[in-house]
């Protein structure tokens, strides 16, 4: 029975039976079900959030598993499907909807509409800005989070008219911003940031405590330090139309190309960032990058003045790597395959 399941939290005077009713009536959307989104989803489901929608178009990979502890890379199911099954085992009272698609300008309105709160568990700067802009347009509160290396960040934007949002912190997406795959991450660091994000969500929905509304919480796993920074309204440009998509910066335009084949002519070399398990047979002339240090391997193999193409599954990792390489060695001409092999309809 519900009263037994939630007894250890409803006995808290700030929550009680009325607080539990608030959680049961809440509709939460979690975009990105990796190291941030999956543990946050588990704790929100355990707490009794009434409806949770999971949005992620990726399948788990072996390099995810040190921090994404609810998945197996051997299964064919998408992350959202594996996570949905776990949440339903954890708490059958929660309604879980799994959407095995990436958030995009064309689907954001319908996927976010009606949510009381959205959690950002994505690891791509452009997607984070798209999600922010959509939540601003719809007036949906957003719990932002990011983690890499030994540290992470959490902030809660209520997205009231004229209020503070992500663009007051990061005005535009930076294609050179690294993610976990390129910068690395301590698994406990991303897990703790996920808990901070879930905690902010619960406190906000219950209207208790002091969640980080218009504040940026920073966390460092090496000394367990936290800092709260009050954010100021600095973004004065007109709100971006999310339904038109986040416009890539000019630098990103120069870093991405589209091709019908993975071995187009005109390049000194083409590099794959896919693992041998995902791409056992390389196309002719393509070199495989070591997943442990693709940046260093590229610097060793690329010559100044050369022209190179990078590709991965989604186009995200290859874009970040291309931006980092050009920033380190401007003499290189390095581009990323837009949309990756998934965008070509291949695996």
Provide the pLDDT for residue 180.
Answer: 63
- The reported pLDDT for the residue numbered 4 is 86
Ordered DSSP codes for 86-144:
HHHHH-TTSEEEEE-S---TTTHHHHHTT-SEEEE----HHHHHHHHHHHHHHT--EEE
For residue 182, report the phi and psi dihedrals to the nearest 5 degrees. -105, -30
CATH of 250-344, one of 3.40.50.1780, 4.10.93.10, 3.40.50.20, 3.40.250.10: 3.40.250.10
Is CATH 3.40.50.2300 correct for 2-244?
Answer: no
pLDDT of residue 346: 43
- Residue 161's pLDDT is 92
Q: Which of 33, 51, 42, 214 is nearest to 121 (CA)?
A: 33
Task: Report pTM.
Answer: 0.73
Structural domain boundaries of the chain? 2-244, 250-344
Residues 6+ apart with CB under 8 A from 323: 175, 176, 251, 252, 255
φ, ψ of residue 114 to 5 degrees: the values are 90, -5
**What is the pLDDT at residue 347?**
39
Q: Has 180 been annotated as catalytic?
A: yes
pLDDT at 142: 98
Catalytic residue among 180, 203, 298, 312: 180
Q: Tell me the pLDDT of the chain (347 aa) as tens digits.
A: 445 899 999 999 999 999 999 999 999 999 999 999 999 999 999 999 999 999 999 888 888 788 878 878 777 789 999 999 999 999 999 999 999 999 999 999 999 999 999 999 998 888 999 999 999 999 999 999 999 888 899 999 999 999 999 999 888 886 556 566 666 788 999 999 999 999 999 999 999 999 999 999 999 999 998 988 899 998 888 877 887 776 655 456 678 888 888 888 899 999 999 888 888 999 988 999 987 788 889 999 999 999 999 998 877 778 878 877 887 888 999 999 988 887 775 43
Which pair of tokens denotes residue 256? 């991405």
């Amino acid at each position: 029975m519900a009263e037994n399941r939630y007894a250890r939290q409803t006995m808290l005077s700030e929550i009680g039976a009325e607080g539990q009713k608030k959680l049961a009536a809440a509709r939460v959307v979690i975009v990105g079900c990796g190291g941030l989104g999956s543990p946050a989803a588990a704790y929100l489901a355990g707490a009794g959030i009434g409806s949770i929608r999971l949005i992620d178009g990726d399948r788990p990979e072996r390099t995810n598993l040190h921090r994404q502890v609810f998945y197996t890379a051997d299964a064919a199911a998408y992350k959202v499907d594996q996570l949905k099954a776990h949440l339903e085992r954890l708490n059958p009272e929660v309604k879980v909807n799994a959407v095995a698609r990436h958030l995009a300008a064309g689907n954001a309105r319908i996927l976010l509409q009606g949510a009381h709160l959205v959690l950002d568990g994505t690891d791509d700067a452009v997607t984070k800005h798209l999600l922010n802009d959509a939540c601003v347009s719809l007036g949906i509160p957003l719990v932002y989070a990011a983690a890499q290396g030994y540290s992470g960040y959490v902030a809660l934007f209520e997205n009231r008219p004229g209020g503070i949002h992500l663009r007051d912190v990061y005005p535009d997406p930076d294609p050179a911003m690294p993610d976990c795959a390129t910068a690395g991450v301590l698994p406990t660091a991303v897990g703790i940031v996920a808990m901070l994000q879930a905690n902010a969500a619960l406190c906000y929905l219950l209207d208790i405590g002091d969640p980080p509304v218009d504040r940026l919480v920073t966390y460092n796993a090496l000394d367990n330090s936290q800092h709260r920074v009050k954010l100021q309204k600095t973004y004065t440009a007109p709100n971006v139309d999310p339904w038109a998509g986040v416009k890539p910066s000019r630098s990103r335009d120069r870093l991405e190309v589209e091709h019908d084949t993975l071995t187009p002519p005109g390049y000194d070399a083409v590099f794959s960032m896919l693992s041998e398990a995902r791409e056992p047979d390389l196309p002719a002339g393509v070199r495989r990058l070591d997943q442990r240090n693709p940046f260093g391997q590229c610097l060793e193999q690329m010559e100044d003045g050369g022209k190179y193409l990078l590709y991965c599954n989604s186009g995200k990792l290859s874009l970040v790597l291309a931006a980092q390489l050009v920033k380190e060695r401007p003499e290189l001409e390095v581009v990323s395959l837009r949309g990756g092999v998934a965008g070509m309809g291949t695996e």
